[in-house]
Amino acid sequence: MKKNNIIKMLMLALSVSIFVPIWGTFHAYIGINNAWVAFVSAAVFFAAGHNIREVVKVSLSHILGMFWGLAVLYIIDASLLNINVILYMFIVLAIFGFASVLITNIGISLVSHTPSLFAGWAVAFAVFDGMPISEWKGSCLDVGLALVIGVWFVGVGISQFQMLLIKVLKIDDEDTELAENRNEQENILHKNSKSKAESKLDLYIASYSKPNENSQQETTNADIDEIKSGIADLKHTILDTQQFANNLHSQQSINDVKVKILGICGSPHKNGSTINYLKRALAAAEEMGNVEVELIELAGKDIKPCLGCKSDKCGGTCRINDYMQELYPKLRECDGMILASPSYFGTFTGQLKLFLDRLRVMRHSNFELGNKVVGTLAVAGRRHGGQEITNIDLIQSMMRHNTIIVNDGTAVCQLGATGWSHTFDDPTIKSEDDDYGMQTAVGVGKRVAEIAKVIKGSGLQNVTYQYNQKIGKR
Ligand SMILES: Cc1cc2nc3c(=O)[nH]c(=O)nc-3n(C[C@H](O)[C@H](O)[C@H](O)COP(=O)(O)O)c2cc1C
C-alpha cells in the first residue's frame, strides 16, 4: 500500500472513530430510537462511493424507499385479492420490485438512486412489519430522520472531515486534487455555459423566433452586433468545453492506461553497449507507471531472410518457421517498441534487416503494426559514427507500417537516441559514462510510453487500415 493511501486510511479511521461514537452515544438526546437505521443509510452512501453531489438524491431515495416499504406492507396487510396469502405476497413484491427499478431509473432524476431505495425499503420492513398501523405515524419521523442523518452526519460528515484532515496535513492526494480540479472546472463551465452564452442565446432565439408584428422591420447594426457577441460567447463555451474534456482525458487516462513496450536489440553482442542504452530506455518507460516492458535480443536468434513471396501470398502467417513466429504475437500485442542497433557503416545491423524484412507479413495483414509507437536508438563506436542516419534508416523502414514514430521527446528533441560506445576512441570508457547518450535513451523510452498511452487511451490503436496493393497500378 502506498504511503499516501495508508495516511488516507488512517484519516478515515480517525474520522469514523469520532463521528460514529458521537452518533451512537447522543442519538437518544435528539429523540431517535432507531439509531441503527442511520448506520444502514451511511453504509449505502459509502458503498456508493460517498459522492457529495449525490447526497440529496441518496437521502430522498432512502425516504422514498421507506414509504415504498410501508406501501407494500399496507397492501399485503389489506389482502385485497381473495387468493392464497403466499401467492398474493409474491405478486405484490414482484410488482413493487419491478416498479422500484423503473421509478428510480426513469423520469424521477432527483431520487434515482436504486440502492438507497432498497435500503429504505428494507429498513421499513425491519421496523414496521408486525407493528400496528396506528403506530406507524410516530415511528415514521424517527426512522426517516435516522435515514437522513445517517447520510449527512455519518456519511458526509466522515468523508468531509477526512478530506479536511488530508488538506491540513497537505497530503499530495492525486485523486482528491483531480476531483477538486474537476469540480472547479465543472463549476466554471456550468457558470459560463448557463449564465453567459446559453442564457444570451436563449434570449436571442426567443426574440428572433417570435413572429414579429413588424415583420418588415430591418435588422439593425445593433442586432447584428448582439448576434456576433452571442456567437463569440458560444465559441468560448465550446472551446472551454473542449479544453475541459482534453484536460480530464489527459489527467485521468495517461497515468491509468496500461501499455506494453518491446525493446528490440539488433546488436550481435549480448553484453554490448547497445543493450545497455536500450535497458536504460526501457527502465525509463517502466518508470512512467503502468508500463510493462520486454527486452528482445536478436543476437544468436534464428531469423531467416524474407523469401519475398508475391504480394498476394504474403499475409496472415509467414510460412518460414523460425524465431519470428515467437515474435509475431508479441509484436501484435505490444503498444510500442524501441528498435536499437549499433551503427554498422552508418546503418543498422544485418540482424535487424532480417527482422525488419520479415515484418512485411504484418503490413500485408491490414497493417497489424498500425498506430503502434516506434522509437529508435543507435549506438556507434565514434562520436559521429552514423547514429542519426542509422535512426533515420530504422524510422523510414517502420514508416511503411503506419506506425507512429517518435523522437527522444523533451530530452533534447533529436532524431532518436544516439549512443557513443567509444569502441575505437577509448575502450576504457563505458556506455554508462555517456551522459548525453543515456539522456537521449531515457527520452526515447519515456516518449514511446507516453505516446503509446495517449494512443491507447484514445482507442486509436484499434484502427485497422485496408492494405491496398492495387494503388499505383495502371
Ligand atoms: C561491421 C561494422 C561496422 C561498423 N561501422 C561503424 C561506423 O561506420 N561508425 C562507427 O562509429 N562505428 C562503427 N562500428 C562500430 C560499432 O558501431 C560499435 O562498436 C557499436 O557501438 C557496437 O555496439 P555493441 O556493443 O552493441 O555491439 C562498426 C562495427 C562493425 C562491426
Q: According to the model, what pLDDT value does residue 267 have? A: 97
Give the pLDDT score at 54. Answer: 79
Confidence of residue 335 (pLDDT cuts 50, 70, 90): very high
Instruction: Report the pLDDT value the prediction gives residue 237, as an integer from 0 to 100.
Output: 74
Q: From the CA of 431, how far away is ligand 1's center (Å)?
A: 13
Which protein residue's CA is at the shortest distance from atom 25 of ligand 1?
272
Report how far ligand 1's centroid is from the alpha carbon of 423 (Å).
8
What span, in angstroms and rounded, lies between the C-alpha atoms of 85 and 384?
Answer: 93
User: For the stretch 125-153, what's the b/e string if a residue is b when 16 or more beta carbons lie within 10 angstroms of its beta carbon?
Assistant: eebbeeeeeeebeeebebbbbbbbbbbbb
Top-confidence residue, 249 or 428: 428
Q: What is the pLDDT of residues 236-284, one digit of tens each?
A: 777 777 766 666 555 556 778 999 999 999 999 998 999 999 999 999 9
Distant-in-sequence, close-in-space partners of 330: CB < 8 Å, separation ≥ 6 = 262, 294, 296
pLDDT score, position 252: 56
Rg (C-alpha) for the chain, rounded Å, is: 33
Which one is the CATH code of 258-306+320-462: 3.40.50.880, 3.40.50.1820, 3.40.50.2300, 3.40.50.360? 3.40.50.360
Query: Ligand 1 pocket check: which of 345, 347, 393 to mutate, most ligand atoms within 8 Å of Cβ?
Result: 345
Percent of the chain with pLDDT over 70: 81
The whole-number average pLDDT for the span 401-408 is 95
- Say how many Å lie between the CA of residue 303 and the centre of ligand 1: 21
Residues whose beta carbon lies within 6 Å of some atom of ligand 1: 267, 269, 272-274, 342-346, 379-382, 385-386, 421, 423
pLDDT tens by residue, 62-113 = 999 999 999 999 998 887 777 888 898 899 999 999 988 887 776 565 667 8
pLDDT at 182: 47
Mean of all residue pLDDT scores within the chain = 84
**Is the confidence at residue 181, as pLDDT, over 60?**
no
Look up residue 171 and give its three cell numbers: 497530503
Where are the chain's structural domains? 3-168, 176-203+226-255, 258-306+320-462
pLDDT single digits (tens) 350-402: 999 999 999 999 999 989 999 999 999 999 999 899 999 999 999 999 999 99
Enter the pTM of the model: 0.53
